[in-house]
Structure 1
Amino acid sequence: MSPTLLAILALTPILTVGVFLVGFRWPASRAMPLCYITVCVLALAIWDLPGVQVAAASTKGFVIACSLLFIVFGAVLLLNTLEQCGAMAQIRRNFLSISPDRRIQAIIIAWLFGSFIEGAAGFGTPAALAVPLMVGLRFPPLAAVFAGMVIQSTPVSFGAAGTPILIGINTGLSGAGGDVVREYATQLGFAQGAEGWSDFLHFIGIRVALIHAVLGTLIPLLMVTLMTKFFGPSRSFRDGLAVAPFALFAAFSMTIPYLLTAIFLGPEFPSILGGLIGLAIVVFASSRGFLMPSAEKIWDFAPEDQWDASWTGTVIPHSDAQSDRPIGTFSAWMPYLMVAAILVATRVIPALKAFTVNTLSFTVPFAFDAGNPESGFFGTSLYQTVQPLYLPGMVFLLVSLIAFAYFKTFNGFTSGGYAKAWVSSARTMYRASPALLFAVAMVQVFINSGGGSHGYPDMPIALAEGAARLMGSAWPALAPMIGGLGAAVAGSNTVSNMMFSLFQFDVGVRIGMDPVWIVALQAIGGAAGNTICVHNVVAASAVVGLTGQEGAVIRKTCVVFFYYALTPGIVFWLFSDLLL
């Protein structure tokens, strides 16, 4: 079969998602099973994959989906706990004291707090924290999910302490054929061995950070401008543009320390320190009125009874708090501070990371033998390691229990109120499970489709190879888009970088362009793909009980995706001579 036709067939599952979820506006609970069937038919009929391989990939997807559902449950439980005990009411008052303007609140919570959490934990955790926090502040749930997904761009390449670079690009470039990359690194002056390779990854990371810092300058402004257009009472871009000075100030407050950290410290800390320093600068400046809108120009959503029915989820802030004493500012914020501290500590401190990664971890299937490549699911090499203590869901659950004990002791929070939080959270997780199970299973079949009797590569590689043949020397214009589609399907910048980094490097060499810049464009696109990733959207929506509107979210975030995925590639292609 010709590479072009194979690439078109490999694109079919992605098109199916787009047509039914975005075009026909089907809920993910209906669209994703159909997309799963499509990819299975392709794997069996065209790629000629053994049935056990498809079953194994599907099972692996179901196991991963259960981990994601645990994160969803933990995030919702923490939100419901704080709502029931009255802490969220105090948090709302704190934000109102900074500014009642929803545009300002969205920038502080989604862009700055979200970037910090992305740097610390990654893997969708920012949406699990920032989205319910905004809903707790009376944002329409659809608007909160939109804002939470938009910022899944700039900080993502350095999320989870640099995992997309240190694991994704590292693993991708070190695979079969990686000797060519090492030779190229040596030609650039990097020493051979582990230290030289680490310096080379740092070198790539600086280029990634430079592109992100430029693109990220407009992300807060894009977020609030689109938010006021889609969800504002007057549906106006102008309402968002009115806070352009503050949005740009918040952008630079994050991206400048972000870039400097990438240059001087390496890939582990840009998003952590960029988000944290930016948060400190902007909150301090905001509390003193710097660039704040005047009282007569405060912007808010319309009253809740005027919201479109599609904007509202089933996780709605309660007004029947179960505490009999007021909650102070520190006490209200303590659970979120604990979550942030635990996430950072368990990702950055080696001893704690090793403890949480290894303690209680297990491999599915339970009879898996690392020395036997055929001891995975159904006698294949596919398996999945589960690390319960390392999952953000465990942190959310632990902090929820601590918060219950604390507020019960000092504020009279009742056991009945906490039981109500558990029941509501379980219902939310149950509603999200069908869409998430089929979405992740589809992804796993898609990326594990190689090895059939015809010898075709995995579907993502087939798609990329066909695109490269079509684009030729104009490939840089499309390089980020390939990374973006990889992340959108796989749900991970890290996985996208694993799949495509070496391929992108080889294409750069073949067309005579700097392959390091091409790999950097891959990482940029991989970050952008998170803004439209189906199972990330499903998970973020589930946190606030917003089911059936996943396509609506993607239709809105795709504006940001195309900005992020097309701009750097086109600029590099047009001005590549200056960058060689």
Structure 2
Amino acid sequence: MVSQPMLALIALLPIVVIAVFLVGLRWPARRVMPLALVSVAIPAFFVWKVPTALLAAQAVDGLVTAIGILYIVFGALVLLNTLREDGALSVIRSSFTDISMDRRIQVVIILWLFGAFLEGAAGFGSTGAVIGPLFLGIGFPPMAAAMLCMIFQSASVSFGAVGTPILIGLSVGLGQGKLAEVVPNMPWPEYIHSLGAQVAAIHAVISVLVPLFMVALMTRYFGRERSFLPGLRAWKFALFGGVCLSVPYALTARWLGPEFPDVLGGMIGLIPVVFAAKKGWFLPRDGGWDFPPRKDWDERWTGSLAFEGALPESRMSPLRAWMPYAIMAVVLFLSRMETLPLKGWLLKLTLRSGELFGTNVSTALTLGYLPGTIFILAALVAVAIHGASPSVLRRASRTSFAVVAGASAALLVAVPMVKIFIGSGAGLAGLPAMPKVLAQAFADGLGSIWPIMASFIGALGAFIAGSNTLSNMMFSLFQYNVATISGLNPDVIVAVQSVGAAAGNMICVHNVIMASAAVGLLGREGDILRKTLLPATYYILGAGAAGYLLQYGFGLHFGTLYPVLVLVLLVFGLRAAARRGASNQ
């Protein structure tokens, strides 16, 4: 019989492999993920006693899931390349630069607010697949686009796809009201609504600083000065953008439920932010910030999708240029509404496998429901309303397929690895699944600081599974039980779990593979992950601090010390940015 500490070490092996080779040694994901797969499959077979047929079924399920992810990227690239070919992208670029030429302002408007709307409408990686290539089209370096899209994945993730991580992730993870461990004194939908409101309240406070993180890291890694200071000089507008999303986001979660915080927060927040940018309110006084000229870019910033030279010009109106994206966003939103028939119609276009290899594992590819289909339909609409030749769509499809084919090597291994890792609890040895073994090991050794560990375990689940929803499914009941045993408020701990899981998306392996593919940066996944570790750490610790405050109130503990430390560092940085700005004038 293998001891619990040894089981935890064995379960930790794939995470160590990824950390050492992908992040530490910067190996490309296509080389690292096969090693991670082996480091999961061998213990699953020999220690967890997962039968060969079940391992094969889990791997096939992972392959199908990976194909779905690749299809999302393909559709987003087809749409972008179609708009590039027919001249609409040059008009879209002008519409953003007409608001502001300052790249820091563009990040807040395009990614933080418009991106929140897209995440709420679709989720499942579609935001990065749309915004990443769009950033390339308006002149961002591919590495900057990928990094920013990964950092974005925080507050909006918890309510992506019309609240799926809450309505499905937490609800299913907690037994949908059918488990004796979780019997709230209210109707189950109302209980999940209240949990969603707590999740949103925590996010609303922590996420206010994320736009500032994005612009500061952008200027640090991709500016002439290679300094945080130009980004910090945009602090007023960045914080204004953070507040404009977080306030309607939190209020929507409280009063309307988990379906619409991103959608309404993004839509409502865009109005004052765009108005302020046009009026010049809250803008830095340094005259604007841009990347160095393309000829001076570090070769590590560039990838296969960098748009060299001028984009094809067009005289079409901004309304016509934007129409395909607007239609895409509306259809995505409507397709996620349970009360409308569109979702049912799209789900009919589903390929199902039945039970695989005599096991109880089955898989399905929901081609109609995946955002990739809606992206492709939007590309067809673009050809029609822009009066483009059908050859435009053919060229866009060929270009997009070449990029996705390059990404497939890593992703077609990464997702099966995740499926085996999560499904290891079905082995004949009767052991808990590997993620639960790891969680229990943390609980046994670190129960006294559980609010922090709840956030960390949520992030660990998303890092492994690539999804806030799956992390909530795996760990929410575990978190609830640990809190109950430890005398903590289980609702607070489950909410912290969900916030930590959202932060884990910043460093999730198959999300970064997807982001890399969308901007043509295959093989650079380790570089991107290294750049997102700082904001991910801030967010995970912030969720833990919120858990302390909600559990213990104000006092001399981590919940109060951490925000004080963050504020001190922020004030120090802003003062340094102000001094440097004054000396340069």
TM-score, scaled to structure 2: 0.92
1:515 is matched with: 490
Q: Give the Cα–Cα distance (whole angstroms) in 1 for the partners of residues 347 and 178 of structure 2.
A: 31
Q: Give the Cα–Cα distance (whole angstroms) in 2 for the partners of residues 277 and 322 of structure 1.
A: 33
Is residue 2:489 matched to residue 1:499? no
**Displacement, 1:221?**
0.4
Q: Give the Cα–Cα distance (whole angstroms) in 2 for the partners of residues 321 and 95 of structure 1.
A: 15
Aligned partner of 1:272: which letter? V
**Displacement, 1:526?**
0.8
Q: Give the Cα–Cα distance (whole angstroms) in 2 for the partners of residues 576 and 345 of structure 1.
A: 38
Aligned positions, number? 554
1:527 is matched with: 502
Aligned partner of 1:442: which letter? M
Q: Give the Cα–Cα distance (whole angstroms) in 2 for the partners of residues 569 and 277 of structure 1.
A: 29
Whether the 8 Å CA contact 2:202–2:546 is kept in 1: the answer is: no
Whether the 8 Å CA contact 1:84–1:318 is kept in 2: the answer is: no
Most deviating of 127-136 and 560-569: 560-569
Whether the 8 Å CA contact 1:118–1:271 is kept in 2: the answer is: yes
- CA deviations on 1:220-243 (whole Å, 9 max, x unpaired) are 001111111111111111111100
- Counterpart selection for 1:561 from 527, 533, 536: 536
1:227 is matched with: 218
Matched residue SS, 1:351 = coil
2:438 is matched with: 463
1:373 is matched with: none
**Displacement, 1:358?**
2.8
Aligned partner of 1:159: which letter? G
Is residue 2:382 matched to residue 1:403? yes
Matched residue SS, 1:213 = helix
Whether the 8 Å CA contact 2:336–2:343 is kept in 1: the answer is: no
Q: Give the Cα–Cα distance (whole angstroms) in 2 for the partners of residues 171 and 359 of structure 1.
A: 23
Is residue 2:236 matched to residue 1:242? no
Is residue 2:279 matched to residue 1:292? no
- Counterpart selection for 1:216 from 196, 204, 207: 207
- Counterpart selection for 2:190 from 179, 183, 199: 199
**Displacement, 1:297?**
2.2
Q: Give the Cα–Cα distance (whole angstroms) in 2 for the partners of residues 457 and 464 of structure 1.
A: 10
Is residue 2:377 matched to residue 1:388? no
Q: Give the Cα–Cα distance (whole angstroms) in 2 for the partners of residues 356 and 543 of structure 1.
A: 28
Q: Give the Cα–Cα distance (whole angstroms) in 2 for the partners of residues 356 and 291 of structure 1.
A: 46
Q: Give the Cα–Cα distance (whole angstroms) in 2 for the partners of residues 487 and 341 of structure 1.
A: 28
Whether the 8 Å CA contact 2:116–2:266 is kept in 1: the answer is: yes
2:242 is matched with: 251
Q: Give the Cα–Cα distance (whole angstroms) in 2 for the partners of residues 536 and 472 of structure 1.
A: 30
- Counterpart selection for 1:270 from 257, 261, 277: 261
Distance of aligned partners of 1:176 and 1:282 in 2 relative to their CA distance in 1, 3 Å threshold: closer
Most deviating of 388-397 and 307-316: 307-316
Aligned partner of 1:298: which letter? G
Matched residue SS, 1:217 = helix
Q: Give the Cα–Cα distance (whole angstroms) in 2 for the partners of residues 56 and 80 of structure 1.
A: 36
Whether the 8 Å CA contact 1:488–1:532 is kept in 2: the answer is: yes
1:260 is matched with: 251
Q: What's the % identity of the aligned pairs? A: 46
Is residue 2:551 matched to residue 1:576? yes
**Displacement, 1:476?**
1.5
Q: Give the Cα–Cα distance (whole angstroms) in 1 for the partners of residues 368 and 271 of structure 2.
A: 29
Ranges in structure 2 where 5+ consecutive residues have no aligned partner: 556-585
2:5 is matched with: 4
Distance of aligned partners of 1:94 and 1:176 in 2 relative to their CA distance in 1, 3 Å threshold: closer
Distance of aligned partners of 1:142 and 1:352 in 2 relative to their CA distance in 1, 3 Å threshold: farther
**Displacement, 1:481?**
0.7
Aligned partner of 1:249: which letter? F
1:341 is matched with: 330
Q: Give the Cα–Cα distance (whole angstroms) in 2 for the partners of residues 471 and 243 of structure 1.
A: 39
**Displacement, 1:478?**
0.9
2:300 is matched with: 310
Matched residue SS, 2:426 = coil
Aligned partner of 1:253: which letter? C
Whether the 8 Å CA contact 1:3–1:465 is kept in 2: the answer is: no
Q: Give the Cα–Cα distance (whole angstroms) in 1 for the partners of residues 539 and 517 of structure 2.
A: 25
- CA deviations on 1:255-286 (whole Å, 9 max, x unpaired) are 00001101110111111111111112211221
Q: Give the Cα–Cα distance (whole angstroms) in 1 for the partners of residues 441 and 284 of structure 2.
A: 50
Aligned partner of 2:302: which letter? T
- Counterpart selection for 2:519 from 503, 523, 544: 544
Matched residue SS, 1:327 = coil
TM-score, scaled to structure 1: 0.93
Whether the 8 Å CA contact 2:492–2:550 is kept in 1: the answer is: no
Whether the 8 Å CA contact 2:447–2:486 is kept in 1: the answer is: yes
Q: Give the Cα–Cα distance (whole angstroms) in 2 for the partners of residues 46 and 110 of structure 1.
A: 44
**Displacement, 1:475?**
1.6
**Displacement, 1:353?**
4.1
Q: Give the Cα–Cα distance (whole angstroms) in 1 for the partners of residues 464 and 394 of structure 2.
A: 37
- CA deviations on 1:348-405 (whole Å, 9 max, x unpaired) are 2622343344322231x2xx2xxxxxxx211111112222111100011011111112
Whether the 8 Å CA contact 1:158–1:165 is kept in 2: the answer is: yes
1:371 is matched with: none
Whether the 8 Å CA contact 2:73–2:126 is kept in 1: the answer is: no
Q: Give the Cα–Cα distance (whole angstroms) in 2 for the partners of residues 122 and 354 of structure 1.
A: 15
Distance of aligned partners of 1:463 and 1:443 in 2 relative to their CA distance in 1, 3 Å threshold: same
- Counterpart selection for 1:483 from 455, 458, 465: 458
Q: Give the Cα–Cα distance (whole angstroms) in 1 for the partners of residues 343 and 369 of structure 2.
A: 9
Matched residue SS, 2:181 = helix
Q: Give the Cα–Cα distance (whole angstroms) in 1 for the partners of residues 392 and 232 of structure 2.
A: 42
Matched residue SS, 2:341 = helix
Aligned partner of 1:494: which letter? T
**Displacement, 1:500?**
0.3
Q: Give the Cα–Cα distance (whole angstroms) in 2 for the partners of residues 579 and 32 of structure 1.
A: 44
Distance of aligned partners of 1:459 and 1:175 in 2 relative to their CA distance in 1, 3 Å threshold: farther
Whether the 8 Å CA contact 2:493–2:547 is kept in 1: the answer is: no
- CA deviations on 1:411-447 (whole Å, 9 max, x unpaired) are xx33443322121111011101011101111111110
Whether the 8 Å CA contact 2:121–2:160 is kept in 1: the answer is: yes
- CA deviations on 1:131-180 (whole Å, 9 max, x unpaired) are 11111111001100111111110111111111111100000111798212
Matched residue SS, 1:450 = helix
Q: Give the Cα–Cα distance (whole angstroms) in 2 for the partners of residues 461 and 112 of structure 1.
A: 35
CA RMSD of aligned residues (A): 1.7
Whether the 8 Å CA contact 1:29–1:434 is kept in 2: the answer is: yes
Distance of aligned partners of 1:328 and 1:216 in 2 relative to their CA distance in 1, 3 Å threshold: same
1:452 is matched with: 427
Q: Give the Cα–Cα distance (whole angstroms) in 2 for the partners of residues 95 and 322 of structure 1.
A: 17
Distance of aligned partners of 1:175 and 1:46 in 2 relative to their CA distance in 1, 3 Å threshold: farther
Q: Give the Cα–Cα distance (whole angstroms) in 2 for the partners of residues 70 and 239 of structure 1.
A: 38
Q: Give the Cα–Cα distance (whole angstroms) in 1 for the partners of residues 67 and 505 of structure 2.
A: 20
- CA deviations on 1:55-94 (whole Å, 9 max, x unpaired) are 1111100000111111111111111111111111111111
Whether the 8 Å CA contact 2:334–2:340 is kept in 1: the answer is: no
Distance of aligned partners of 1:177 and 1:253 in 2 relative to their CA distance in 1, 3 Å threshold: same
Q: Give the Cα–Cα distance (whole angstroms) in 2 for the partners of residues 253 and 400 of structure 1.
A: 31
- Counterpart selection for 1:301 from 280, 291, 294: 291
Matched residue SS, 1:350 = coil
**Displacement, 1:319?**
4.9
- CA deviations on 1:14-68 (whole Å, 9 max, x unpaired) are 1111111111100111111111111111111221211111111111000001111
Is residue 2:173 matched to residue 1:172? yes
Whether the 8 Å CA contact 1:346–1:356 is kept in 2: the answer is: no
Distance of aligned partners of 1:62 and 1:301 in 2 relative to their CA distance in 1, 3 Å threshold: same
Aligned partner of 2:290: which letter? D
Is residue 2:380 matched to residue 1:379? no
Aligned partner of 1:201: which letter? I
**Displacement, 1:573?**
3.6
Distance of aligned partners of 1:380 and 1:575 in 2 relative to their CA distance in 1, 3 Å threshold: same
Most deviating of 237-246 and 173-182: 173-182
Is residue 2:332 matched to residue 1:331? no
**Displacement, 1:2?**
2.2
1:44 is matched with: 45
